[in-house]
Amino acid sequence: MPLTLLLDLDDTLLDTNLQAFVPAYFQALAKDLAPHVDPGLMMRALVFGTNLMNQSEDFTQTLSQVFDSAFYPQVNRTKEGLSPVIENFYDNIFPTLRGLTASRPDAKAFVEWAFSQGYRVAIATDPLLPRKATHHRLRWVGFEPEQFELVTTFEDFHFSKTHAAYYAEVLGRLGWTDDPVLMVGNDLERDILPAKKLGLAAFHVDGGSASSSELEAGARGTLPDLRRWLESTDLKSLTPNFKSSDSIMAVILSTPAVLNGLLGALDADAWMRKPAADQWTLTELLCHLRDTEREIHHMQLKLFAEQEEPFIPRPDTGVWASQRDYLHENGANVLAEFNAARQATVSSLKNIPPDCWNRKARHAIFGPTTFQEVVGFIAEHDRLHIQQAWAILKGL
């Protein structure tokens, strides 16, 4: 039962002082781009694009795509035209900002201890910066990005840390473990509360040593406090709970983002490769998700909309793959179709009043149930098949 540790970067592992670092970073970028873009215009576009990334819940667009679609029209330049200048900035100018930061004294020792325990360790930093910038900051702590199972950057992720769906996307990209998970960070609004909204345990790194009672609660303290707490804690108590309506919605919103991230760049051979004679290909798996979304999940939501206490049937989907010849569909097209079907689901769920989540129903398999439980089945179905897709990809 390995623990998955999600570690924030800024002011958790790296003393960044964002109030000083971010203005210096923006000013350095504006200065370097000044021969090509008016600095005032560039700053306004940068802030505008960053705000859009924080607001985005579009699982079809990575945060870099959201940013690019706003930034480049604002500065009246093309991405292709500015890319060489921006790449040079992150290669040669951004590293000079290191002096504004400092590795936390206990950070390297804590992370190395976590590795020694066999924990899965991911860097769950707000994915609002390019990969190069994030990797530089990791090296300032004393680590190479390849040492971690996952590092979140805006080229690969679809939500910022203002959304619980960000944490669901992280876990999805890690294969949706059923084992304990702990989020560790310094920011209540972006690290702790959204992670708890998903159903994760969290530890607040606030720089001050915690009292024994606070350590027993696992609430807050330093990285050495966290190590002592983990050494004395039953890790089973850190197993996530994904049963709340907020958690269910985060999982449902994150699923197409995870699949887009995992499968978006696959070649035709990878889509069609069978892991074993009796197992689905990735194309067949996506066809199953798409048709289940269209024909079962949408039907279930429609029944709740039309009836006071509906009976929820559950058709047998096991025969669809052979009956519908899933193997010969185009995997990339199927992924796009699943995205569209899931968007309809999300739009429907966002209009459900909070009190309706307790509405009763009767399920063909599970008997007496509620709307929340039925929608929770969708989220559990998602997690199961992402685990399956992740395992297939590991075997390719």
For 182-195, the pLDDT digits (tens) are: 999 999 999 999 99
Q: Which residue has the tokens 């969708």?
A: 378
Backbone region of residue 218 per phi and psi (left: phi > 0; alpha: psi in -120 to 50; beta: other values): left
Do 123 and 226 lie in a common domain? yes
The average confidence (pLDDT) of the chain is: 94
Q: Where are the alpha helices (DSSP H) in 63-130?
A: 63-74, 79-88, 107-116
Where does a domain end: 176, 207, 238?
A: 238
Sign of CA dihedral 56, 58, 63, 64: negative
pLDDT digits (tens, 9 = 90+) for 26-68: 999 999 999 999 999 999 999 999 999 999 999 999 999 999 9
Q: Which of 99, 132, 155 is the last residue of a domain?
A: 99
pLDDT beyond 60 at 213? no
Q: Are residues 118 and 217 in the same domain?
A: yes
Instruction: Assess whether pLDDT exceeds 90 at residue 295.
Output: yes
Pair (264, 384) in one structural domain = yes
Out of 64, 99, 134, a domain closes at: 99
DSSP-derived pairing of the beta strands 120-123 and 4-7: parallel
112 close to 5: Cβ distance less than 8 angstroms = no
Considering the domain architecture, whether residues 390 and 285 belong to the same structural domain is answered as: yes
CB atoms within 10 A of CB 91: 11
pLDDT greater than 60 at residue 329: yes
Classify residue 3 by its DSSP letter: P
Residue 338 has pLDDT above 70, yes or no: yes
Q: Which has more confidence, 201 or 351?
A: 201
Are 213 and 345 part of one and the same domain?
A: no
Using pLDDT thresholds of 50, 70 and 90, give the confidence band for residue 331. very high
- pLDDT given for residue 273 in this prediction: 92
Q: Are residues 147 and 185 in the same domain?
A: yes
Least confident residue range of 1-10, 15-24, 142-151, 173-182: 15-24
CATH number at residue 287: 1.20.120.450
Pair 386, 271 in one domain: yes
Which three-class secondary structure state does DSSP give residue 163?
coil
Would you state the pLDDT for residue 112? Answer: 97
Strand 201-205, strand 360-363: pairing: unpaired
Residues 93 and 111 in one domain: no
How far apart are the C-alpha atoms of 14 and 8, rounded to whole Å?
A: 9
Q: Report the number of distinct structural domains present in the chain.
A: 3
The reply to whether 8 and 133 lie within a common domain is yes
- Domain span at residue 59? 17-99
What does the pLDDT look like over 86-138, one tens digit per residue?
999 999 999 999 999 999 989 999 999 999 999 999 999 999 999 999 999 99
Q: What does the pLDDT read at residue 278?
A: 85
208 pLDDT higher than 90: no
For position 316, what pLDDT does the model report?
Answer: 87
- 319 and 391 together in one domain: yes
Q: CATH number for the domain including 205?
A: 3.40.50.1000
SS3 102: strand
- Tell me the percentage of the chain whose pLDDT exceeds 70: 97
Q: Are residues 119 and 57 located together in one domain of the fold?
A: no
Which tens digit of pLDDT belongs to each residue from 376-393?
Answer: 999 999 999 999 999 999
118 and 106 within one domain = yes
